[in-house]
A and B are shown apart, each in its own frame.
Chain A
Amino acid sequence: MITTNELTMRYRNGKGIFNLSFTIREGETFGYLGPNGAGKTTTIRNLLGFMKAQQGACTINGLDCWSQAAKVQKNLGYIPGEIAFLSGMKGSEFLRLLSEMRSTKDTSRQQALSERFEIDTEMPIRKMSKGMKQKVGIIAAFMHDPAIYILDEPTNGLDPLMQRRFVELILEEKRRGKTILMSSHMFDEIERTCDRVGIIRDGKLVAVENVAALKHTRQKKYIVSVESDQDVEKLKHSGMNIHDLGQKRLEVMVTGSTNAFIRQLSTVSVESLDVSTIDLEKVFMQFYGQEAK
């Protein structure tokens, strides 16, 4: 459905993307990850037909993303990484403009989405908060019911409740057989929605992996506060992967089953226990046994 073939695009500062090749099958949800400046947005710009790579090509649904961009867009929903709307418009006016430019007449989906994300689109866009703008962006990408979605950090600026609703929306679309390319920083989001994940660094695709396999080896990080220094010593000698943060606080890395960790905790007196999220890239690189740079 979405294919890039030896895509190379070098910017003047030497950055860019190099020999990028991947294929996303029809009905698949593909997570696209990488640090800032790795080339995620450049890839997406090529897929959307905003840029033409110096070498290689990319196609969506068999259509060339550069020369047949307008045709590609017919079946594409896109959320830009940085959303900017035309100035001086209400949310509803902007959505109407897009619908008219796409020649879609049916507004039922647009209304359903507005209700789902609890947004009043009858408001001037410049008065909207970042989260509200993001919601308008989501509606704009989903309201014409396209077959393919390209989403660049789609939950940027959304609160946790809305992030959850967004994940539900993605899962629904997935069930309806849509093909999705999504870049994100939230592990949860990727873990719950994507089938495969590709990671890009310095413009090169360093790994593509099934999410199921990733999940299995995923490490979790806990911050434990204990009551006494003896407890600290006890845990340190328990053979777990522990890092002393001082002031009787310990950082514990747990791989696989959490049972052993709980058993160890039961031998000491715990004041508090926090789950800390791990940077997605780190998780991924752990999987490959590489140290994230």
Chain B
Amino acid sequence: MRNVYADNAATTRISPAVFDAMLPYLKDEYGNPSSLYRLGVRAKAAVEEARRKVAAAINAEPGEIVFTGGGSESDNFAIKGAAELAAKKMKKHIISTAFEHHAVLHALSHLKKQGFTITLLPVHENGLVRPEELAAAITPETALVSVMTANNEIGTLQPVARLGAVCRENKVLFHTDAVQALGSVPLDVKAMNVDLLSLSAHKIHGPKGVGALFVKKGVVLANLIDGGSQERGKRAGTENTAGIVGFGAAAALAAAGLEERVKRLTALRERMIAGALQIERSRLNGDRINRLPGNVNLCFEGIEGESLLLMLDLKGVSASSGSACTSGALDPSHVLLAIGLPHEVAHGSLRLSFSDENTMEDVDYILEVLPPIVERLRVMSPLWDRIQLST
């Protein structure tokens, strides 16, 4: 049986080149980057080389990169770090969107309990934020705006540069979670008008447990971890040298192959979407054009996502869903609800996310096994009977 890993938005396989780059730092190059002898100096040099590579991938300066323990940590650092200092100036309003990653939304709920006011902008049916609605939401108390570059579920790409420009005009800090965007769309922190930008290594064939926050020169955040002087004292603790080196290698690969990757993944995506929409009562979630090249998010009426995933898994296909059952929650994905899908439609969602490792044959295989699975589940479904009776 063919195995197709189509859940690259969840995580990716580490690339062999990245693995090779990391290995020495898990074995003989074990020095502490803060140490003065050569073993430590070499480790420090490796961390700084990785910093240059990550910075180059987003057109930032190396000094603007703070390594963290991953995307969620970067989001928390950006939001709580900015909020803590803003609160001292009595600026206690933050604007974000209804479909951010939970790392952002839950950090905001935490701040809400501490007296912050949170405005969540609508993302509309196409999953896009409107710059004029952002402009209208900004008040003199607004400390921070956080809008993700690319949504992790439906892959929609926000007009980040325009949103950033609105923030600049109003002298409000602008953070964007670009975890899903790195390696899939061009990222240029200067052109995007961002002050803070979150990244993660394991979404780009790097290791898990390492990420970064771009902090624009001159922007000050409260310390994330107090302790030693690592990461300019912002995030203390001995560096995860191997992880950071792996991130650097992965970021360089992500940036180098970008143009070619976008072309290849877009072709896979378009074939997948066109094929899947042949299925009766199916729909594509999120804007058709402004979306990640490797993201496909569909809904099939009358069926539930978890059983769809289990059946796909039995055919060797790894994918994900926004159904309530897949998360153990009562409600389906907040992202699908935010774009206005009714609960019963959102329960039947399927996300396929492709990377460099996928081929057109993978897409064709999914298109071969998917329709009979949807059909099989619909034959079992009293909801499907009802949908057909009502039309």
Query: Do A and B come from the same complex?
Result: no
| Interface positions of A (Cβ within 8 A of B) | none
| Interface positions of B (Cβ within 8 A of A) | none
